[in-house]
């Protein structure tokens, strides 16, 4: 019985009689390290996967030492995921091509602004039949409007992509606190293989086919979280925040219904971890909420706060709001998305944050 997850032909070409794959994680970061912990532990006990999990690390000096050296000796990403030991079979590699060239599975976990450069570096240097999975939450602007990050990767590298999104704040995942996640994939056999690689008893995976809806949820919820942060900073209560979350969800659904044209857009996908669950956790616990709250209470700029508060981590909500704004403007649809628009106007156009609540009061959902 073939159970490697690749097609029959690929499986024969790969001589999968022993069914060994080299599982490659691309880029270390807060969440990359949390996922490396899971993948490393699963690979170590499942003979289907190669034991060593290589992880590309964007090299940085931390306390006078190379981050890769620290990870490979202390088995800890002391900059982006301090306090959590990584399995010893996770090997940090500073050279991107060396890290990825023999991979059968590539896991992309980088801030979305670095995707283009990373793909250009490994283009033509990876296996042509590798599978990719993206955990990156963001969108790009294409010539015809929206472009999913997984599509950007797929086009640049020519590999089939799946996505993983959910209520998965990195520290909690690394702490092995129970959570759920959603894998969206175009091919069922890829979903089964990736689930086997990722699932643990405290990280439960549901696989769905609407990969584009899963991915768009992961990007858009960060815009709503900025709104939730404004709401907290302005001193509104839980009822108001619940309204931000609900109206934000309605805009997410409306946006997906217009822009996810690859297949159906089912309400049930929004009830998965990638939908409401990720939206709730991000509006309460995430960095976008935190920085947006400080934007109101300190009067500092978003860029200043990102530098001050995030220790090298990147903020995704404002950038995604700008990309979404450009797409909506192009389609003449801004009026239908007042919350997304308000976040963009406040972050980039100097609109007073004190007027944020107006976008809720005049929402098309109430008309």
Ligand X SMILES: NC(=O)c1ccc[n+]([C@@H]2O[C@H](COP(=O)([O-])OP(=O)(O)OC[C@H]3O[C@@H](n4cnc5c(N)ncnc54)[C@H](O)[C@@H]3O)[C@@H](O)[C@H]2O)c1
What does the per-residue mask of binding to ligand X show for 119-148, with x meaning CB under 6 A? ----------------xxxx----------
289 among the known binding-site residues?
A: no
> Least CB distance from residue 351 to ligand X, whole Å?
25
Structure-token match 């970061």, residue found: 29
Residue with tokens 């963001």: 138
What is the b/e burial string over 194-209, where b = at least 16 CB atoms within 10 angstroms of the residue's CB? Answer: bbbbbbeeebebbbbb
Q: Which residues are catalytic?
A: 221
Asked whether 359 and 340 are in contact (CB, 8 A), the reply is no
Q: Would you count residue 31 as binding ligand X (CB under 6 A)? A: yes
Question: Which residues 50-79 are close enough to bind ligand X by CB under 6 A?
Answer: 58
Q: Which is nearer to ligand X, 40 or 338 (CB)?
A: 40
Four-CA torsion 134, 135, 138, 140, nearest 10 degrees:
-10
Q: Which residue, 84 or 363, is less far from ligand X as judged by CB?
A: 84
Q: Is 284 in the site for ligand X (CB under 6 A)?
A: no
| Backbone phi, psi, residue 124, to 5° | 80, 0
Per-residue binder mask for ligand X (CB under 6 A), 93-122, x = binder: ----------------xxxx-x--------
For ligand X, the binding residue among 22, 24, 26, 32 (CB under 6 A) is 32
* φ and ψ of 204, to 5 deg: -90, 130
Q: What is the DSSP string of 205-229?
A: EEEES-HHHHHHHHHHHHHHHHHHH
Count CB-CB contacts under 10 A for residue 262: 14
Residue closer to ligand X (CB basis): 4 or 157: 157
From the list 22-30, 242-250, 256-264, 357-365, the region that binds ligand X by CB under 6 A is 22-30
| E-assigned strand segments in 36-166 | 53-56, 61-62, 65-66, 90-93, 105-108, 131-134, 139-142, 145-148, 160-165
Q: Closer to ligand X at the Cβ: 36 or 50?
A: 36
Q: Which two tokens stand for residue 153?
A: 């990767």
Encoded one letter per residue, x for contact with ligand X by CB under 6 A and - for no contact, window 156-195 reads ------------xxx-------------------------
Query: Does the annotation flag 137 for ligand binding?
Result: yes
Is 156 known as a binding-site position? no
Query: Which three-class secondary structure state does DSSP give residue 11?
Result: helix
Residues 6+ apart with CB under 8 A from 61: 67
Span from 7-15, 223-231, 298-306, 311-319 in contact with ligand X (CB under 6 A): 311-319
E strand or H helix that includes residue 143? none
> Does 314 belong to an annotated binding site?
yes
Q: Report whether 288 belongs to an annotated binding site.
A: yes
Residue showing the smallest CB distance to ligand X in the complex: 29
Residue with the two structure tokens 């990147």: 314
Q: Does 230 carry a binding-site annotation?
A: no
| Segment contacting ligand X by CB under 6 A, of 25-33, 139-147, 202-210, 318-326 | 25-33
Q: Which residues bind ligand X (CB under 6 A)?
A: 27-32, 58, 80, 109-112, 114, 135-138, 168-170, 312-314, 316
Binding-site annotation: residue ranges for NAD(+): 58, 114, 170, 287, 314, 316
């Amino acid at each position: 019985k073939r159970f490697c997850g690749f097609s029959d032909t690929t499986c024969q070409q790969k001589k999968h009689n022993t069914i060994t794959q080299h599982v490659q994680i691309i880029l270390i970061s807060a969440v990359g390290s949390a996922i490396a912990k899971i993948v490393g532990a699963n690979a170590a006990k499942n003979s289907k996967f190669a034991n060593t999990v290589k992880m590309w690390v964007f090299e940085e000096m931390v306390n006078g030492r190379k981050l890769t050296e620290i990870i490979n000796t202390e088995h800890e990403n002391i900059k982006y995921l301090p306090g959590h030991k990584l399995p010893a079979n996770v090997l940090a590699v500073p050279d991107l091509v060396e890290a990825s060239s023999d991979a059968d599975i590539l896991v992309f976990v980088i801030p979305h602004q670095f995707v283009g450069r990373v793909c250009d570096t490994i283009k033509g240097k990876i296996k042509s039949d590798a599978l990719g999975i993206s955990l990156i939450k963001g969108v790009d602007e294409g010539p015809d409007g929206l472009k999913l990050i997984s599509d950007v990767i797929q086009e640049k590298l020519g590999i089939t992509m799946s996505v993983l999104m959910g209520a998965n704040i990195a520290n909690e995942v690394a702490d092995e606190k129970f959570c759920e996640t959603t894998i969206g994939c175009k091919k069922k056999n890829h979903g089964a293989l990736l689930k086997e690689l990722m699932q643990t008893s405290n990280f439960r995976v549901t696989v769905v086919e609407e990969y584009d809806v899963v991915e768009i949820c992961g990007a858009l919820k960060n815009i709503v979280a900025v709104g939730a942060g404004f709401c907290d900073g302005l001193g509104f209560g839980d009822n108001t925040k619940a309204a931000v979350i609900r109206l934000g969800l309605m805009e997410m659904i409306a946006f997906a219904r217009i822009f996810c044209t690859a297949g159906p857009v089912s309400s049930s996908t929004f009830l998965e971890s990638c939908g409401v669950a990720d939206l709730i956790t991000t509006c309460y616990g995430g960095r976008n909420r935190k920085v947006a709250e400080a934007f109101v209470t300190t009067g500092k700029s978003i860029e200043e706060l990102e530098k001050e508060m995030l220790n090298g981590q990147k903020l995704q909500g404002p950038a995604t709001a700008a990309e979404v704004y450009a797409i909506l403007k192009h389609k003449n649809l801004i009026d239908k998305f007042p919350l997304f628009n308000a976040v963009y106007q406040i972050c980039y156009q100097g609109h007073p944050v004190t007027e944020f609540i107006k976008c809720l009061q005049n929402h098309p959902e109430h008309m």
